[in-house]
Amino acid sequence: MHEWALVDSIASAAQEEAARNGLKKVSSVVIVLGELQNIDAKASVEIFRDIRLLKKESLHGAKLVVKTEKAAFRCRACGKDFTMRTGRKMNHEQSEAVHFLPEMAHVFLQCPKCASRDFEITKGRGVYIGELRGNK
């Protein structure tokens, strides 16, 4: 599934970051999943369990801990702050497109005040690593 590629990138980033920080064993990789992209948290944890074994040994015992973040937007035209609940709603097909490529939000969402599609995704876009825990 699509999540595989993103989880693989998380594992690669974690092993490189661990090496950079001198971590011999990574106990957990805390990731933050943005509401906009709507990545499947449960599937990500399962994929990580398999992928970690393909990476360096420092990652073999690591757990993937998932946190979520609500999406937030700021209109560049009028300055209005809005969210997935206060902005225009997307249908299933549009949500799928944004799931694969979050920048498609600019195609399917609009500022609820001035209808502009020129807005900044200030929070909750996609996936990032929030924290890496382990032993030196």
Q: By CB under 8 A, is residue 13 in contact with another protein?
A: yes
Binding mask 69-98 for another protein (x = CB under 8 A): -------x--------------------xx
Q: In what order do the strands lie in the sheet with 119-123?
A: 81-83, 72-75, 119-123
Q: By CB under 8 A, is residue 40 in contact with another protein?
A: no
- Sign of dihedral through CA atoms 122, 127, 131, 136? negative
Q: Binder to another protein among 43, 45, 65, 129 (CB under 8 A)?
A: 129
Q: Which is nearer to another protein, 61 or 130 (CB)?
A: 130
Min separation Cβ 62 and another protein, Å: 14
C-alpha–C-alpha distance, residues 10 and 4, integer Å: 10
